[in-house]
Each structure stands twice: as structure tokens, then as C-alpha cells.
Amino acid sequence: MSLYRFQKKISDFGLLSRLKADLLIKQGRVKFNYRQAIPREKLDPPSDYILVDEKDLPKKLNHKVFLLNKPYEVISSCQDNHGRQTILSLIPSDLRHGMHYIGRLDFDGRGAIILINNGDVTLRLTHPKYSHSKTSLIWVSGQPSQSILDNWRRGILLDGKMTMPARIEVLDRVNCITLLKVILKEGRKRQILRIATLIGHPAKDLQRPSISNIKSNGLQEEEWRELKKEEWISIIN
């Protein structure tokens, strides 16, 4: 008999990561055969029933990974209590079940975001130990000096902690603005925008053309496409 832990089963069906599944169990939101689930308890998938927030866990889920080109003024969230447009609303309703996003962009940012329903793949794409890079193109005011950019490359003190080294390249200078290519292997909240302000060159525009080696080439804003398995498998191995 093949036995699975609750955490793995829930994440395999793309509902959330194993860590979050463990938290749900501890919060009493998961039931096993209609009784309260116990952390690290094992189950037999063909015969046992799991309820998450009083809803049946689906027996099968077709793992899907989408690449979305997020436009301005769309929330990087699967739902919004204020009625604002979300990234999930940009894909057909019949494809939204179990989907969550990777690569949050701010309300005023645009570019590549991954939508996925596989918890294990999500962990591999987001955990720092896998060192996946995120590339951003940012127009900043003024013309940052070489010393300022070198400081950013080495790391900037942000919220009392140094940022990880960054790869920064000057792509263009037009009048009083500069286009920078910034590649990071971390993703603190509004990190690039906040650093641009800290160094005295506030951002005018921010776009993310790729996540790891997955590029949004050819996708117009608001458009999406399903990634082939060989595309997303290549960045988790």
C-alpha cells in the first residue's frame, strides 16, 4: 500500500505548499475521513477522504503552469476584497481552480508572472536555496554614477538587512533618465523600487521580462500562455 502524508497530498493537488498545508492542519482546517486531521498522519489516496475548509479534496488535478504578462494596475493576488482586477481574472474561469502565483509584481509594475497549481513546483521556484533569478528593466530618474551602481551591486541596507548581490547593467541613457537591467536572486517587497529611491534615482517605470529562463517574449500585456512541461521542468531540476 502506498501511503502519503497529508502535506504532500495537498501540495500535490496544487492547493498550496507543504508548509502552508501543515499550517492548515495545525489550524484545524483539514479533516481526514470526516474527522480532525493530525499533523504527519498518513493516508491511502484511493480510499481515504480529505476535506480542506469543509470542501472535498479533488481526486485528480491536471498540473498546469501559465505565464502571464501582467499590465499596470492589476493586483498580484488571486482575489481582492475591494473589487479590483486581479491576475487570476485574466485567465478563463474554468482554469483558475487551485491556481496561485509566483513572482509578485506591484500594482504599478508589469511583466512576467507565473500562475501554477502545483505546490511542490512552487516551492522549488520560490525557495532561496534554488537561486532562481528575476530580471527587471527599470527606468530611473537621472543618471546614477558608477559608484552608486557598484554599491547596489554589492548590496544595500534595506530594513536593517543587506540585500544579496545584484547584477546591474546600464542599457540606455536618454535625457534625464536611465534604463537599467537588474537581476536579483531574492524578492523583498518592492525591493527594486525602494532601492531606486534610496540611492536618489526614483523609478519611472518597471517591467519584468522574465523569471529564471522563462521569458514573456511575444506576449502582449494581459496575454498568457500555458508553459510546456519541458519549460518549467528545466527550472526546477
How many C-alpha atoms does 192 have within 13 Å on its Cβ side? 29
List Cα–Cα distances, 161 to 155, 158, 175, in angstroms. Answer: 9, 5, 34
Question: What Rg, from alpha-carbon coordinates, does the chain have?
Answer: 20
Active-site choice (12, 53, 56, 106): 106
* Main-chain phi, psi angles of 196, to 5 degrees: -60, -40
Q: Which of 150, 144, 156, 137 is nearest to 202 (CA)?
A: 144
- Is 150 known to be catalytic? no
SS3 86: strand
Distance CA 234, CA 237 (A): 6
Which runs of E-coded beta strand occur in 92-133? Answer: 100-102, 110-116
* C-beta separation of 208 from 103 below 8 A: yes
Residues 152, 145 contacting (CB under 8 angstroms): no
Tell me which residues are annotated as active site.
106
